Amino acid sequence: MNFENLQITIENGCGIITINRPKKLNALNIETIEELHDAFETLDANNAVKTIIITGSGEKAFVAGADISEFAHFSVDEGEDLARNGQEILFDFVENLSTPVIAAVNGFALGGGLELAMASHFRIASDNAKMGLPEVSLGVIPGYGGTQRLAQLVGKGRAMEMVMTAGMISAEEANNFGLVNHVTTQEELLPLALKIASKISRNSTVAISSAIKAINANYKDGVNGFETEISEFGNCFGTEDFKEGTTAFLEKRRADFPGK
């Protein structure tokens, strides 16, 4: 995988995607969004990859937002297309990926950067991270799912305040809000993400992908999450992973999941 704006490595079954535009604080231009789609799709299709970590290069930023220079002169229709296409190819795509995605937020996560972190399955942050949705300070609103996912993650009142003030919160505040699950030093961020990824990778990938579908179902209009859970639960009984997991338990050994 060769990308202009991304670096990809695979460590112990974990695909690490590093957004690499440090001079622009890793801002998401359209090319980077398309490359991210391809990178997530390729890693998701690789059976050797059990988890994915998304992070930013440099010590300053995860992602400082969508690339403002690209959309500053857009029309109403172009603005709508930008949001629709971005949501479809990256933000919704990541949220619904069957491989678990952990965002390792290593600095500024603003606008589209926080939206990318929020589309990931969960987030951890370094103690220098700063998070916010500053779009209204530019005369626009979050367009990559931010108004929906921030309210889901931190509650409506906090989301309203963060969006209206266009302010940034610290990693500690984000932790208190439940926006990130853990805060650590910048040096320990990737090791912690890899440690959590390794814990996840011991479990059934098929069951994890069912769990992602069931949890996400609660946040989709017109979908009954309990029904999705029942049907995904049933599907697990037809998998080789289920046979291996239950057999290993009864034989008092560690399961070796085939991932099927």
How many residues of this chain bind ligand COA (CB under 6 A)? 16
Selected catalytic residue, list 11, 59, 88, 115: 115
Is there binding between residue 66 and ligand COA (CB under 6 A)? Answer: yes
Which CB sits closer to ligand COA, 110 or 183?
110
Cβ neighbours for 76, distance < 8 A, ≥ 6 positions apart? none
Which of positions 19-38 make contact with ligand COA (CB under 6 A)? 24-25, 27
The single residue of 34, 135, 172, 240 carrying the catalytic annotation is 135
DSSP strand E in the chain: where? 6-11, 14-19, 51-56, 61-63, 101-105, 108-110, 122-126, 130-132, 168-170, 182-184
The label of the residue with tokens 């919704």 reads: 92
Q: Which is nearer to ligand COA, 55 or 209 (CB)?
A: 55
- Pick between residue 63 and residue 97 the one whose CB is nearest to ligand COA: 63
Q: Which two tokens stand for residue 72?
A: 């500053």
Nearer to ligand COA, 86 or 112 (CB): 112
Which element (helix H / strand E) includes 159? helix 156-165
Active-site residue, 95 included? no
The maximal CA–CA distance of the chain, rounded, in angstroms, is 65
What is the smallest separation between the CB atom of 24 and ligand COA, expressed in angstroms? 4
**Residue 260, number of CB atoms within 10 A of its CB:** 12
What residues make contact with ligand COA under the rule CB under 6 A? 24-25, 27, 64-69, 108, 110-112, 134-135, 138
Which active-site residues does the annotation give?
A: 115, 135
